[in-house]
A and B are shown apart, each in its own frame.
Chain A
Amino acid sequence: MRDVAIIGIGMMKWGELWEKSLRDIAVEAAINCIEDSGTNRVDSLTIGCMSSGVFNGQEHLASLIPDYLGKKNIPATRVESACASGGLAVRTAFLEVASGMSDYSLAIGVEKMTDISGSMATYALATAADQDYEAFHGVNFPGLYAMIARLHMERYGTTRDQLSEVAVKNHRNGALNPYAQFPQTITREIVANSVMVADPLRLFDCSPITDGAAAVLLTTVEEAKKIKKHPLVTISGIGLASDTIALCNRKDLLKFSAIELSTQVALKMAGKKISNIDFAEVHDCFTIAEIFVIEALGIVKPGQGGPATIDGLTSLEGSFPVNPSGGLKSKGHPVGATGVAQIYEAVSQLRGNSEKRQIKNAKTALTQNMGGSGGSCVVHILETK
């Protein structure tokens, strides 16, 4: 396999982008990425998108997006793994370059979620669960994560304050991110008094519905050294794993095998241990998710995710910053775009371009992007010298 570098990143301000269409935001992110990269060469394209069919009545993005990007006729692929579609798109572009199929491969993540009502968006997202044995019974994603939260609280003593602190910390980071959908700082009281969505999870435990896109351009390390526009950032490890689609079919409901396995594979490939990682962007679709993800990654022991968050371990100034971008909670969660935007943030930090939210001496980053209730997970390890 050839060594792979990320030479371009592109995003835009996320939110309820009523004046922009699915194709508009995908192309805007790609233009920003290509301009950032120092080359206009794109040999292949991968689009990560969960459900443009339900959200926009539009499939066939592997034709639409290259067409409107002015890259007609290039090989294009759309990939889907629910909320992990973006991470999967980056992995697919990595394989294009590493294998020698392409020298320059672009990954775009996109989701345009506000073209339908909130109720229909909840339905669209619930298609990532088991339709016949979960969604049929009236459960949705807040409900699935709420059941995980209740178990976590009962087994480990995780508290309301600990859940709330995840949201408070991520909004504090997001307030420093010009692209965040909700860059407002909040307090634990605001979280604890927000409306109940699925007990014990409240509105401010949940990531929002967002329109957004992000793009990254990958090439070989050799090519990247020739272009030399930015400090060299490489992808040194990638892991992808799956787990049961239905939560009820896991022997231990608090063991997230897809997260654990994808992390082990990625770290092994990079020749790293979790203690060698300087910061992480993780999939905080709900506050409880960040708590169990930092446990599954091995940053803290099982049950210690809540206390560690309260103690400030994962804050910008902490010894293991998590979600410096503001995470899904504050930055927004356009599902197919999220995994690509995590890479955007990691590269921005490793280049030293993250301004007020810059983590000092950040050399090694981990991104973790998962689908459904942990039924799929993609982990990337990024490095700079």
Chain B
Amino acid sequence: MEVPKHWREIPQRYRMEAGKCKECNYISFPKRLICPECGSQSFDPINLSGKGKLVTHTIIRTPHKDFTDLAPYAVGLVELEEGNTIMGQITDCDPQSLKSGDRLKSKFRRMNEEGKTGMILYSYKFVPDNGV
């Protein structure tokens, strides 16, 4: 079944739900059962802001078939205001113009269609944050 695999990711992909360790403040995205830093099993639910700065990135030119229509596209690691770093596509800009340190914010976007079911998948992508 391909539906449950994507359905259960909705809290992360649509709302960026994460866990913050009650003991050491480690931010886990996605949520985990055990804190990798201190071993605690107690987390507070938080929603990530989606705002942050670009740490490093690349432009994918030879993706596998699910992403060929999109290529070339930028993917990067973004250090969020909350302190953790996540990976995402960067869109609504010229990929060649991106530089480490650029301010970015997340937007809710269509990712692609899943295999035979034709299910449309959505997630966060990052766009330039011009303070608007």
- Write out, one digit per residue, whether chain B residues 90-125 have a CB within 8 A of any chain A CB (1) or not (0): 000000000010000000000100000000000100
Report A-chain residues with C-beta under 8 Å of the C-beta of B36.
244, 249
Q: Which of A110-131 contact B (CB under 8 A)?
A: 119-120, 122-123, 126
**What is the minimal beta-carbon distance from B24 to any residue of chain A, in angstroms?**
13
Contact check, B55 vs A151: say whether CB atoms are below 8 A apart.
yes
Check A249/B100 contact, CB under 8 A, given A137-B123, A199-B58.
no
Report B-chain residues with C-beta under 8 Å of the C-beta of A247.
77, 87
Report B-chain residues with C-beta under 8 Å of the C-beta of A362.
none
User: Is A140 in the interface zone, CB < 8 Å from B?
Assistant: yes
Chain B residue with minimal CB distance to A122? B64
Report B-chain residues with C-beta under 8 Å of the C-beta of A140.
60, 62-64
Report A-chain residues with C-beta under 8 Å of the C-beta of B76.
147
Contact check, A143 vs B123: say whether CB atoms are below 8 A apart.
no
Contact check, A138 vs B67: say whether CB atoms are below 8 A apart.
yes
Report A-chain residues with C-beta under 8 Å of the C-beta of B59.
196, 198-199
User: Is A19 in the interface zone, CB < 8 Å from B?
Assistant: no
Q: Which of A132-187 contact B (CB under 8 A)?
A: 132-134, 136-140, 142-143, 146-148, 150-151, 154
Contact check, A120 vs B30: say whether CB atoms are below 8 A apart.
no
**What is the minimal beta-carbon distance from B94 to any residue of chain A, in angstroms?**
13
User: Is A246 in the interface zone, CB < 8 Å from B?
Assistant: yes
Contact check, A138 vs B56: say whether CB atoms are below 8 A apart.
no
User: Is A253 in the interface zone, CB < 8 Å from B?
Assistant: yes
Size range of the chain B interface in the assembly: 20 to 34
**What is the minimal beta-carbon distance from B34 to any residue of chain A, in angstroms?**
13
Size range of the chain A interface in the assembly: 20 to 34
Q: Which of B67-100 contact A (CB under 8 A)?
A: 67-68, 70, 73, 75-77, 85-89, 100
User: Is B9 in the interface zone, CB < 8 Å from A?
Assistant: yes
Question: Please, how many angstroms separate the alpha-carbon atoms of A123 and B86 in the complex?
Answer: 21
Residue in contact with B77 in the complex, picked from A132, A147, A154, A199, CB distance below 8 Å: A147
Contact check, A147 vs B56: say whether CB atoms are below 8 A apart.
yes
Contact check, B64 vs A248: say whether CB atoms are below 8 A apart.
no
Report A-chain residues with C-beta under 8 Å of the C-beta of B111.
136-138
Check A198/B60 contact, CB under 8 A, given A119-B65, A133-B30, A147-B76.
yes
Q: Which of B1-53 contact A (CB under 8 A)?
A: 9, 12, 29-30, 36
Check A139/B60 contact, CB under 8 A, given A247-B87, A248-B86, A253-B55.
yes
Report A-chain residues with C-beta under 8 Å of the C-beta of B29.
133
Report B-chain residues with C-beta under 8 Å of the C-beta of A248.
77, 85-87
User: Is A197 in the interface zone, CB < 8 Å from B?
Assistant: yes
Chain A residue with minimal CB distance to B85? A248
Report B-chain residues with C-beta under 8 Å of the C-beta of A139.
58, 60, 75, 87
Contact check, B64 vs A132: say whether CB atoms are below 8 A apart.
no
Check A143/B58 contact, CB under 8 A, given A136-B123, A137-B123, A138-B89.
yes
Report A-chain residues with C-beta under 8 Å of the C-beta of B66.
138
Contact check, A123 vs B75: say whether CB atoms are below 8 A apart.
no
Q: Residues on B close to A: CB < 8 A?
A: 9, 12, 29-30, 36, 55-68, 70, 73, 75-77, 85-89, 100, 111, 123
Q: Residues on A close to B: CB < 8 A?
A: 119-120, 122-123, 126, 132-134, 136-140, 142-143, 146-148, 150-151, 154, 195-201, 244, 246-249, 253
